[in-house]
Amino acid sequence: TALDGFQINVQLNIMSFLSPQDLCHLGSTSCYWRAAVQDPLLWRYFLLRDLPFWTSVDWKSVPDVEIFNKAFSEVSDNALYDYMAVYKKSCPQSRRSLKSSRPRYGAVTSFLQSLVTQAEPRFAMFGPGLEELDDSLVQKMMTCPEILLVAGLPQRQIHGIGSGISFQFNNNQKFNILTLYSTTSVERRRARAEQAVAVNKMFYQENSVVGNQQAVHYSVIAQVKKVCEVVDGFIYVANAEAHKKHDRQEELARILAMIDPALGPPNRPLLVLSCVSHIGMKRIPCVYMAHQLQLNLLHQPWMVQDTVAATLAGLLNGIEWLLEEASCKNAQ
């Protein structure tokens, strides 16, 4: 072909304009191109170029943080990283293709489930994205039946803390979300009007000493503890708006307090909704959000999903993952 006549550096430059999918197709044409398209420098370029635009990442697919920080050395990096494999593992499109290629037993599963009476899975939803954004995620969830159908009126289920709202996913599976706010609605409105930070009443701080440094540790209040003991998973709504300041270390400490294995069954899934108010707002990419929150420190399944409060874009993808993980956990 005409491409064969170019020097290698010219070939690499041309290949950098192809999509990763087209590059893989090119690699299937001959032994030469199979080797050429696996160039680590090329796939590192694709990885660093595309990952800010990916809308989800999970505990199995998040790229190692060293990939972002290290300068490329063709000898050392080629030995340490297979960038092509990292890209395929991390790319949401590849994950969806792998998922769709697996055999589905939906009809059998639905029949078996119909023989067993199961309670609706319950999830505790909390986080600054519930309170700091200009558009209310919860209000939108309550008023968009074409996206998410409300299947049960709000009711206080756990000793007066949070509102338990039942939803119906894809006109089939019902689930319940207990929304936990850090303080009262009056205090939240006052804090927003004064552009101040409201005191979070869900947690109390316990200081401990690690080495020579003082570490911040949180515990949940008694009412929230009762919620954590009975839910099947957690939804953390993170504020992903890039123009605002965020204390991710503080957020991690509160996440760890909620998912403390002493408060309930281990390995309950955590869905992080990386949320902005509306489309077009500059956001923190979900891969960066995962590293900022240090989710790699967690021992249970987690997923970060880009979400838009005004349109609920991305929400159903996150809910689908959470229901599947909770279902697998209950089956085990």
**DSSP class per residue in 175-233:** EEEEE--SS-HHHHHHHHHTT-PPP-TTEEEEEEEETTEEEEEEEE-HHHHHHHHH-SE
Residue 230 tokens, joined: 């009975």
Residue 229 tokens, joined: 């003991």
Q: Is the pLDDT of residue 108 over 50?
A: no
For the stretch 220-274, pLDDT in tens is 999 899 999 999 999 999 999 999 889 999 999 999 999 999 999 989 999 999 9
Do 3-70+82-92 and 122-182+223-328 come out as alike in CATH topology?
Answer: no
* Burial profile 16-49: b = 16 or more Cβ within 10 angstroms, e = fewer: eeeebeebeebbeeeeebeebbbbbebbbbbbee
CA distances from 5 to 2, 8, 9, 89 (A): 6, 9, 12, 33
| Percent of the chain with pLDDT strictly greater than 70 | 80
3-class DSSP state of 127: coil
Query: What span, in angstroms and rounded, lies between the C-alpha atoms of 318 and 219?
Result: 27
Mean pLDDT of the chain: 83
Q: Are strands 122-126 and 173-179 parallel, antiparallel or unpaired?
A: parallel
Q: How confident is the model at residue 112 (pLDDT cuts 50, 70, 90)?
A: very low
Check residue 121 and report its DSSP letter. P
Say if domain 3-70+82-92 classifies as CATH 1.20.1280.50.
yes
Q: Looking at mean pLDDT, say which of 9-13, 82-86, 118-122, 259-263 comes out highest.
A: 259-263
For the stretch 40-87, pLDDT in tens is 888 888 998 999 999 999 999 998 877 766 665 555 555 557 888 889
Write down the pLDDT at residue 206: 78
Helix and strand element counts for the chain (H, E): 15, 10
User: CATH for 122-182+223-328?
Assistant: 3.40.50.300
Burial class (CB in 10 A: 0-12, 13-18, 19+), 286: buried
The lowest-confidence range among 5-9, 113-117, 230-234 is: 113-117
Contact 96, 50 (CB under 8 A): no
For the stretch 123-139, pLDDT in tens is 999 999 998 899 999 99
**Beta-strand (E) ranges in the chain?**
56-58, 122-126, 149-155, 163-169, 173-179, 203-210, 213-220, 233-239, 270-276, 302-308
Which of 255, 235, 119 has its CA nearest to residue 177? 235
CA distances from 309 to 12, 177, 267, 293 (A): 41, 16, 28, 20
User: What residue spans define the domains of the chain?
Assistant: 3-70+82-92, 122-182+223-328
Q: Is the pLDDT of residue 310 over 80?
A: yes
Contact 149, 171 (CB under 8 A): yes
Q: Is the pLDDT of residue 161 over 70?
A: no
Query: What span, in angstroms and rounded, lies between the C-alpha atoms of 178 and 164?
Result: 4
Report the residue count for the chain.
332
Q: Is the pLDDT of residue 317 over 80?
A: yes
Write down the pLDDT at residue 284: 96
Q: How confident is the model at residue 105 (pLDDT cuts 50, 70, 90)?
A: very low
Q: Are strands 233-239 and 163-169 parallel, antiparallel or unpaired?
A: unpaired
